Structure 1
Amino acid sequence: MRIAVDAMGGDLGPRAAVAGAASAVMADPGLDIQLFGPARHLDDEISRLPRPFAAASSRLCVVDAPDVISQDQRPAEVLRGNAATSMSGMLACLAKGEADAGVSAGNTGALMALARRALGMVAGLSRPAISTAIPTRREGRCYLLDLGANVDVEAERLRDFALMGDVMARRIDDLAHPRVGLLNVGVEGTKGTASVQRADELLRCETGLHYLGFVEGDAIFSGEVDVVVCDGFVGNAVLKASEGLARMLVRRVQATFEAHWSSRLVGWLARPALARLRGELDPVRYNGASLLGLDGIVVKSHGGADAAGFHYAVARAAREVAHDLPGCLAAELGQRRSAGASAVDDGRDASGSRTLAGTVTDVVDGETSQQEQR
């Protein structure tokens, strides 16, 4: 399995990406990784790897990409730029079939725009959605999407998010009937924006989808649902708030046990349990967000991820390759769209109502430059 890595996008520079990639190939003997970035910097980082990772260097291939996309560059500027950046090189390698998946911790907007241009979309989808797993109370996980790729979304796109999340949960987690919920300010049918209420109507018409209706924010962590759908503005706020809450809880627990000599004794006895809790709540363990809907596998690592976090992002990409997630999305969503278009076409009235296929085409062709900029 071949993974292409943009090694220059993270806040910690190439050190975290190189060390995380080395850790990933040590853990998976069937993995080979191509590292894109300035060759001199990457070779230096590989030479600094600890001795246990020395054997991994033979499966790390450096590809020289002298330029780097900064975190503050706008997607439109990046699209007009040169192809010598580490991110562009990684995506070009993926588009040419020389890698099975790509991983980057770089500029999210730039990654979205470049990946969409390089790889295209599946099943008539117009834009990718970012999805990641959230730990739940019942020792499982819940997929949350979108996480920032689409801030203002229409009902039809929220429906697409739900269908993509359903496919991911079935294929990656082997769930027979993933429970899907639509995030809202309440479970009552009268609450929510017009697009959310319309999306609820559309999802209730989707056959074969285990749709539970509206859910509130606490359902993400309760384990009552497997997929939660929302727009990118809400999803990004929920994700960042949950990461901050997890870190705060771990620190509060540690501070409580260190406050007095008696609690320090109890804390010493409870250290194994506290270590497990820290591991379960650590956002690093769930690092790696999928860009769903692309005709290829691209995983976005958190910009601040360390080597361990980057390892998890590479491992997530490898899992998606093993399950051929884009192929599954293309087949299942394409089949749904064909069935829906046929049903609408069969029932069109004498005035010639537009079919679902026509509506999808209109959405793709009619995207505004403002949407592209976001």
Structure 2
Amino acid sequence: MSRLTLALDVMGGDIGPRITIPASLKALEYDPMLSLLLFGDSQQITPFLSNIPKALAERLTICHTSHQIENNQGLTYALRHSKGTSMRLAIEAVQKGMAQGCVSAGNTAALMGLSKVILQPLKGIQRPALLALLPTIEGKYSVMLDLGANIDCDAENLYQFALMGSIFAENQLNLVYPRIALLNIGEEEIKGHQAIRFAAEMLEKDTALNYVGFIEGNYLLNGKVDVIVSDGFTGNIALKTLEGAAKNVIALLKGKSRHHLLKPLLSWLMSKLFSESYQRLKSINPDQYNGASLIGLTSVVVKSHGGANEQAFSNAIKDAALQVRQQIPQKILAGLEKY
């Protein structure tokens, strides 16, 4: 592994330093070649760094900030009042070359807006998108975007999302000619709003991309396609629905339900009908899939869930480090030039 430095907005998220600092230490323990710049209120940060090993302390730098962007602030207000905030300074550290990537669990719209202004989209990209990996029932992954960065998208935006998603899947999942689908309310060509239908026409004409048609929400986790494309409004709802359903089912199977009659009945049925899949489902840890990438930017930016726990935020840091080492932005730019 190569040495690298990441800039963290440790004030972002629902809980802030109580989660992000222990998570940072976990990431440093996992990756001995990683260094972190911690942007946030030093008075809130330092209590969590007492008595840590010297080897870890040497790879941590506290960058004091007195302000932060709140999750409930609108985009315009957040951008206008972003000067001196932990999120903005973390992004600016990447711009200045102090770090090679940024991680935040803060306001998604503000993170996207600031990243676009400060780091800039890749040449030719109209709108960067929020991308994540979805686990499939086959034990593999699918790429899904956009997951909330762009609420309203036209056909050209969706086409570019498909292009970026395909390049990302080729590099992150080692796929050749990844299968691309547009998330829609039906598989028929006449279904969906105009932008989706026009995007489908554009993708069908591009023989360099492996477009296979529309996909419905009930097939998102079955591995039918490798890249799932949607606007940010639809994608965000779909993702959160999947996450909520998965966590509830897993909690039920692991004995956390108060419904004493339903739990043993469902567990018995699952174990008898789907023995192999049942054991795999019980072993799933949803925190493993925390972290979405702001794809289409000149540098790596990873958005963690606001409610992420220590392990989940630590995984987001690991994901950002991996993308930096794999040079994902550079590969996307090179890939764009091919199409």
Structure 2: unaligned runs, 5 residues or longer? 272-276
Residues 183 and 228, structure 2, Cα contact 8 Å, conserved in 1: yes
Change (3 A) 1:275 1:186: closer
Instruction: Give the Cα–Cα distance (whole angstroms) in 2 for the partners of residues 279 and 109 of structure 1.
Output: 33
1:137 alignment partner, SS class: coil
Match of 1:310 in 2: 313
AA at the equivalent of 2:162: A
AA at the equivalent of 1:149: A
Following TM superposition, by how much is the alpha carbon of 1:220 offset from its aligned partner in structure 2, in angstroms?
Answer: 1.4
Following TM superposition, by how much is the alpha carbon of 1:219 offset from its aligned partner in structure 2, in angstroms?
Answer: 2.3
Instruction: Give the Cα–Cα distance (whole angstroms) in 2 for the partners of residues 202 and 258 of structure 1.
Output: 50
For the pair 1:277 / 2:281, whether they are aligned, the reply is yes
2:48 to 45, 60, 83: 45
Cα deviation 1:219-252 (Å, max 9, x = unaligned) = 2111111110011111001011001101111122
Structure with a larger share of its residues in helix: 1
Following TM superposition, by how much is the alpha carbon of 1:82 offset from its aligned partner in structure 2, in angstroms?
Answer: 4.7
Cα deviation 1:230-285 (Å, max 9, x = unaligned) = 1111100101100110111112223489948xx69x99xx9xx97853442x3211
Instruction: Give the Cα–Cα distance (whole angstroms) in 1 for the partners of residues 148 and 308 of structure 2.
Output: 18
Instruction: Give the Cα–Cα distance (whole angstroms) in 1 for the partners of residues 200 and 279 of structure 2.
Output: 41
After the TM superposition, which of the residue ranges 126-135 and 77-86 deviates more from structure 2?
Answer: 77-86
Instruction: Give the Cα–Cα distance (whole angstroms) in 2 for the partners of residues 28 and 253 of structure 1.
Output: 33
After the TM superposition, which of the residue ranges 98-107 and 62-71 deviates more from structure 2?
Answer: 62-71
Alignment of 1:51-200 (within 5 A): 55-200=55-200
Match of 1:296 in 2: 299
Alignment of 1:231-270 (within 5 A): 231-255=231-255, 259=260
Residues 100 and 297, structure 1, Cα contact 8 Å, conserved in 2: yes
AA at the equivalent of 1:312: N
Match of 1:34 in 2: 37
1:8 alignment partner, SS class: coil
Instruction: Give the Cα–Cα distance (whole angstroms) in 2 for the partners of residues 195 and 166 of structure 1.
Output: 20
Following TM superposition, by how much is the alpha carbon of 1:287 offset from its aligned partner in structure 2, in angstroms?
Answer: 0.3
1:17 to 14, 17, 20: 20
Change (3 A) 1:303 1:82: closer
1:185 alignment partner, SS class: coil
Residues 182 and 228, structure 2, Cα contact 8 Å, conserved in 1: yes
Instruction: Give the Cα–Cα distance (whole angstroms) in 2 for the partners of residues 18 and 321 of structure 1.
Output: 21
Q: RMSD in angstroms over aligned alpha carbons? A: 2.4
**Length, aligned pairs only:** 327
Following TM superposition, by how much is the alpha carbon of 1:43 offset from its aligned partner in structure 2, in angstroms?
Answer: 1.3
Following TM superposition, by how much is the alpha carbon of 1:126 offset from its aligned partner in structure 2, in angstroms?
Answer: 2.0
Structure of larger gyration radius: 1
Residues 69 and 82, structure 2, Cα contact 8 Å, conserved in 1: no
1:134 alignment partner, SS class: strand
Change (3 A) 1:301 1:275: farther
1:221 alignment partner, SS class: coil
1:7 to 2, 10, 13: 10
1:328 alignment partner, SS class: helix
Match of 1:328 in 2: 331
Following TM superposition, by how much is the alpha carbon of 1:48 offset from its aligned partner in structure 2, in angstroms?
Answer: 7.0
Instruction: Give the Cα–Cα distance (whole angstroms) in 1 for the partners of residues 48 and 128 of structure 2.
Output: 33
AA at the equivalent of 2:130: I
Instruction: Give the Cα–Cα distance (whole angstroms) in 1 for the partners of residues 133 and 175 of structure 2.
Output: 14
Match of 2:274 in 1: none
What is the TM-score normalised by the length of structure 2?
0.90
2:114 alignment partner, SS class: helix
Structure 1: unaligned runs, 5 residues or longer? 337-374
2:58 alignment partner, SS class: helix
Once superposed, which parts of structure 1, at least 4 consecutive aligned residues long, lie more than 4 Å away?
255-258, 273-276
Change (3 A) 1:57 1:277: farther
1:12 alignment partner, SS class: coil
2:73 alignment partner, SS class: coil
Instruction: Give the Cα–Cα distance (whole angstroms) in 2 for the partners of residues 37 and 319 of structure 1.
Output: 24
Instruction: Give the Cα–Cα distance (whole angstroms) in 1 for the partners of residues 94 and 193 of structure 2.
Output: 39
AA at the equivalent of 1:64: H
Following TM superposition, by how much is the alpha carbon of 1:123 offset from its aligned partner in structure 2, in angstroms?
Answer: 2.3
Instruction: Give the Cα–Cα distance (whole angstroms) in 2 for the partners of residues 202 and 278 of structure 1.
Output: 41
Following TM superposition, by how much is the alpha carbon of 1:334 offset from its aligned partner in structure 2, in angstroms?
Answer: 3.4
2:161 alignment partner, SS class: helix
AA at the equivalent of 1:136: T
Kindly, what percent of the aligned residue pairs are identical? 38
